Amino acid sequence: MNSRSAGLGKWVCLLCLLPLLRCWAGSVRLLNGETHSGKVSFSGNALAVTDATATATFDLANILVADFGENGASEAASFPEGVILSNGSFVVGTIRALDGLTVQLGAAPQQTAVPMSSVSAVVFSPTPRATISRVPNGKTGAVFSDGDFFEGEISGIKNNIVTINSPLFGPQRFAVGTRVSAVVLRGIQPGAPRYEISAKNGTRYFASDLMVTGDGIALNDTVFGQAKIAEKDLDEIRAGSGRHQLLSDLKPVAAVTASGADATKSVSVQDEGDGLRALSAGANVAVSYAIPPGFNTFLCRIAVPQESPPRTRLVFSVSCDGIIVFRSNPVAPGSNPQNLRVNLGTARRMTLRAEPAQPDSGAAAGKWIEPILLHP
């Protein structure tokens, strides 16, 4: 075979593999930090991940993020047409009617009536998420197609005209869908959902529970109520804030050295790639956090940066209300991250610390990768 034929053969082989690569575009990240890539599907009441060699199954309770692949719309830059609910959920659908009491979404026989009392905003045409997020929570008014916000009380929406009582300009009328891309009726009151579920069309629910059905999932959104999403339409399932709290999103109540000196500047959050974050703190720095009510388990992975001095060996410890409840073996630079799971019980304060194993073992920052507090 000549070199040209060999090169062509390689391309043919790659083209043959493309459908398989698309099938394995998904991934599942577990609460313990492990990531498994492959085709994501349901197997009974669990999630299955199938790669080139095997299939692994995982209970939904152990999953941080399940990405079904195929580039869904959950991270799209704009909201499509639909309604934003008062809990932050977003339901995609063509706005058919607004009668003052409900918003009619979609077409018969699948038309859905959403009570206006449950709606935070009505999106008439694609609107950048950043534009909506810039509206101060609690303010009402119209979002114009050019991104400007016209503040005022929404007094009516009829025949594609919205009437707004402005404190400065009095009653004003604007055409929706052309001049007005969205109207904001009330602020969002985020809750603590157990699951966040995204569909490929951009719909996003904040659910108190979900159940695997024969061809997808049934869920109970905290405001919208019951809904179903077919497996083929799923984009992502994520553990909600009612089940977990990333420690890297919380502010420490204290960060001090062994001598009691302030060491706040030595604590930082670093990007580990693939969506992972790590809490980094200098050697011998005790970083303390208040444990939010109801959270009783701490999960993370511990590691020492590979670029640390070769002699570095750190011992990681976790204390609850001043009592050490976990202490690791010495960890060397570049070694595989170690998983840890700590039962916090009813403790109200947790302290993390990484210290040199011996006086001559060197000092470097310790990394707490994807540190998570869990709610039962």
Over residues 107-124, mean pLDDT: 86
Question: What's the pLDDT score for residue 139?
Answer: 92
Domain borders along the chain are: 3-67, 78-184, 245-374
Cα-trace Rg, the chain: 25
Span 118-168, pLDDT tens digits: 999 999 999 999 999 999 988 999 999 999 999 999 988 888 889 999 988
Span 334-357, pLDDT tens digits: 899 999 999 999 999 999 999 999
**Token pair of 106 as six digits:** 């979609």
For residue 355, the one-letter residue type is E
- The H or E element that residue 22 is part of is helix 3-23
The residue with greater pLDDT, 371 or 111, is: 371
Question: What's the pLDDT score for residue 358?
Answer: 85
* Res 331 pLDDT > 80: yes
CB 225 within 8 A of CB 61: no
* Res 32 pLDDT > 90: no
CA dihedral 200, 205, 210, 211 (to 10 degrees): -30
The residue with greater pLDDT, 289 or 273, is: 289
Question: What's the pLDDT score for residue 16?
Answer: 36
- The pTM is what? 0.78
3-67: in CATH 2.30.30.100: yes
For residue 83, the one-letter residue type is V
Q: Which CATH superfamily is domain 245-374 in?
A: NPCBM/NEW2 domain (2.60.120.1060)
Sequence-distant (6+) residues with CB within 8 A of 170 are none
**Token pair of 44 as six digits:** 């009974």
**Residue 320 Cα distances to 261, 268, 297, 317, 373, angstroms:** 21, 21, 11, 10, 13
Residue 12 banded pLDDT, cuts 50, 70, 90: very low
The partner residues of 234 in beta bridges, in order of sequence, read 199
| Cα of 194 vs its chain's centroid, Å | 12
Range 137-160 burial, b when 16+ CB lie within 10 A, else e: eeebbbbbbeeebbebebeebeee
Question: What's the pLDDT score for residue 54?
Answer: 92
* Res 362 pLDDT > 70: no
Question: What's the pLDDT score for residue 371?
Answer: 94
Question: What's the pLDDT score for residue 262?
Answer: 95
Span 45-101, pLDDT tens digits: 899 999 989 999 999 888 989 999 865 555 578 999 999 999 999 999 999 877 778
Task: Out of 74-83, 167-176, 248-257, pick the least confident.
Answer: 74-83
* Res 14 pLDDT > 50: no
Span 188-216, pLDDT tens digits: 998 899 999 999 999 999 999 999 988 89
CB 118 within 8 A of CB 189: no
